[in-house]
Structure 1
Amino acid sequence: MAKRKQTVASTGVAGLDQILRGGLPTSNLYMLQGAPGSGKTTAALQFLKAGVEIGESGIYISLSQTAAELEAIAASHGWTLDGIRVEELSASDAINGAADQTIFQTGELRLDETRKAIENAIEEHKPKRLVYDSLLEIRLITGDSPKFRRELLGFKRFLAQRNVVALLLDTQTSGGERNGEEVEGIAHGVIRFDKSLEEYGAVRRRVEVSKMRGVPIADGYHDMAIREGQGVVVFPRIIPGAAKEDMKPHLIKSGVAELDEMFGGGQEAGTVTLVIGQSGTGKSTMASLYATAALKRGESVALFLFEERLETFFRRSEGLGMDLRQFHEDGQLVISDFNPNEISPGEFAQIVQEVVTREKIRVVVIDSFTGYLNSLPHREKAVRDIQSLLKYLARSGVLTMLIVAQHGLLGQNVGIDVDVSFLGDTVLLLRIAEHEGRLRRNIAVVKKRHGPHDLDVRELMIQSSGISVVSYNPLPET
């Protein structure tokens, strides 16, 4: 017997739909949990808006926010509430009334009145989608967990009989116990929004689908953000196996014969090269060299800059005879200039993946990887995340070059406190050293997993006429 395909309702958040393998299975009740300000209301409005776009009626039952507040949230993103019915109920009166009484029946009466008002609104408007905001108010009215659980079970049956997809918002207090643990088993699925404020930089946001019956979800945390005009945006973790394999073996040349000779003829597609060196050794110049050679071959290149400004990059390259502006204007060279303090590892990985897939990129340069990692509060996690991205790029047949700086002008320590050497299939080491009375740039290939490579240390010449690699004169025989 053929397996029946389950119908789903889009959440209105593309990345979250991807995690859920399409969306929320229909005719079920779901919980969206998170601290105040984590994005629950915005995501709920996106859920209802997605329904309106396909002709499904939606209702927002608000016990905690006024219709004016909801309109203000929508307006902040350039949205309207057209097609969404807002039912504003006064649950706060029930809470305040119960707090001033010692007779239990008063709270019971308020609960009945709130339930009837909600059910009447559903019966009258017959929505396909419903948002219930929030469970905190109902929890306070009921006063104890068993009664609260029974109330939710009854509401779940009521909605199931009417084939409504319901999203229940549940406010989680920071530092305390999770309020919804006693009722999570009732919901068909549970989604959690998490936010944290580091000592410096923007708020970091994450989403976790902690439960989803019958769906092989991409579990664990995924980065997210709230963007003006977009609302909640989710960045699913990269899955290397999702890449379309392009493992045609071919060598990628630099355009400098002596340098290609050091790599045994060139660098392999589908590999990662770490370019490590002190300040001024020519790390970014090497990246520009490979980018220029690929562009002249007609291949597309992507550069992701975290330290150097775009204009600085162009001027430095032009000073060495590499004019890349026209390639950029023609779209063959894609350059993204980031403020590292305002981008999460998940968002960065998604941007790279989308650019590589859309533009059929063959060479990727991340300059500098050190600056990117040093801006993040949890560098070990960022290294794991970028390892997945690098595997994705490798399976796509892309040569990736990571620029890694060393401490100080003449220092020998890598400028990050986590080990990144395992990321590279190839390691190109650049140094400045005194030789015969002057400072010289040295270049050496210290690691290459695929094929032979030269172990000699050579001199890297960076001049306005171009780049060259020369061998040191052999020592005289004694």
Structure 2
Amino acid sequence: SELDRMCGGGFFRDSVTLVSGATGTGKTLLVTNFLAGGVAAGERALLVDYEESRGQLFRNARGWGVDFGAMESDGRLKIVCIYPEAQNLPDHLLMIRELVEEFKPDRIAIDSLSALERIAPETGFREFLISLTSFIKKREIAGLCTATDKSLVGGQSASEQHISTLTDSIILLRYIQERHLMNRGIMVLKMRGSEHDKQIR
């Protein structure tokens, strides 16, 4: 895909990628393609979603030509939707670990870290991120985490500032103003271990 080309060949195992962007820039679409791409390659994929319901996720995926239901029925995909407020941060981490140990995915997506950030003190959130990224890498899983940028055209949220130092790759999704139009752009800001495209597309 075009994103794989921009990333210098795609996503690596035992690495964590941050996808950051304002609402509506395409984070959920990128997560959907990340999961579907893994399943198409014969991998097992896990999604932990803190933003949308299963109904919303499945409906959005169908609109993009992706059948999450069939993937789950085949045992290649597992989707868990939970409210951030349902439990504290250590329990969320424990839940993710247990899901990974049980399902044994090759890739995992977490949407979004910003939702978890709302329920945690700053120091506790950073400790959570360190534990989460370390766990994903230790299990040799390809990880994709999203963060919602509150600015429409740029800037970093607290979650971006924290996780940008812990992730191997950063993909920015931005609105780009061109004359009287607002278009969406994508840029690979950081990609460890590969020659990546540094242009905004």
TM-score, normalised relative to structure 1: 0.40
Cα shift at 1:267: 1.5
TM-superposition CA deviations, 1:68-100 (whole Å, max 9, x none):
xxxxxxxxxxxxxxxxxxxxxxxxxxxxxxxxx
2:165 is paired with a residue whose SS is: helix
Cα shift at 1:272: 0.5
1:83-162, aligned counterparts within 5 Å?
Answer: none
2:33 is paired with a residue whose SS is: helix
> Partners of 1:316 and 1:348 in 2: how far apart?
25
* Structure 1: gaps spanning 5 or more residues: 1-255, 459-478
1:246-395, aligned counterparts within 5 Å?
Answer: 256=1, 258-376=2-120, 378-395=121-138
* Structure 2: gaps spanning 5 or more residues: none
Cα shift at 1:369: 0.6
TM-superposition CA deviations, 1:36-64 (whole Å, max 9, x none):
xxxxxxxxxxxxxxxxxxxxxxxxxxxxx
What is the total number of aligned residue pairs between the two structures?
200
One-letter identity of the residue aligned with 1:426: S
Q: Which has the higher helix share?
A: 2
Contact residue 153 and residue 174 of structure 2 kept, 8 A: no
Moved more, 292-301 or 410-419: 410-419
2:116 is paired with a residue whose SS is: helix
Pick 1 or 2: higher relative contact order, CA cutoff 8 A, min separation 6: 2
Cα shift at 1:413: 3.2
Cα shift at 1:419: 2.8
> Partners of 2:192 and 2:112 in 1: how far apart?
23
Residue of structure 2 aligned with 1:447, choices 174, 190, 196: 190
TM-superposition CA deviations, 1:194-231 (whole Å, max 9, x none):
xxxxxxxxxxxxxxxxxxxxxxxxxxxxxxxxxxxxxx
> Partners of 1:354 and 1:420 in 2: how far apart?
22
> Partners of 2:122 and 2:153 in 1: how far apart?
21
Measured on the aligned residues, the alpha-carbon RMSD in Å equals 1.7
Contact residue 302 and residue 364 of structure 1 kept, 8 A: yes
1:366 is paired with a residue whose SS is: strand
Q: Which residue of 2 aligns with 1:425?
A: 168
1:413 paired with 2:155, answer yes
Cα shift at 1:437: 4.4
> Partners of 1:426 and 1:438 in 2: how far apart?
29
> Partners of 2:154 and 2:118 in 1: how far apart?
17
Moved more, 384-393 or 367-376: 384-393
Which structure has the bigger radius of gyration? 1
Contact residue 176 and residue 185 of structure 2 kept, 8 A: yes
1:371 is paired with a residue whose SS is: helix
TM-superposition CA deviations, 1:310-337 (whole Å, max 9, x none):
1101111111111111112333211111
TM-superposition CA deviations, 1:413-432 (whole Å, max 9, x none):
33437633112110000111
Q: Which residue of 2 aligns with 1:398?
A: 141
One-letter identity of the residue aligned with 2:154: Q
Contact residue 349 and residue 386 of structure 1 kept, 8 A: no
> Partners of 1:449 and 1:261 in 2: how far apart?
15
Cα shift at 1:382: 2.3
Contact residue 46 and residue 105 of structure 2 kept, 8 A: yes
> Partners of 2:98 and 2:19 in 1: how far apart?
24
Displaced runs of 4 or more, over 6 A? none
> Partners of 2:124 and 2:104 in 1: how far apart?
28
TM-score, normalised relative to structure 2: 0.92
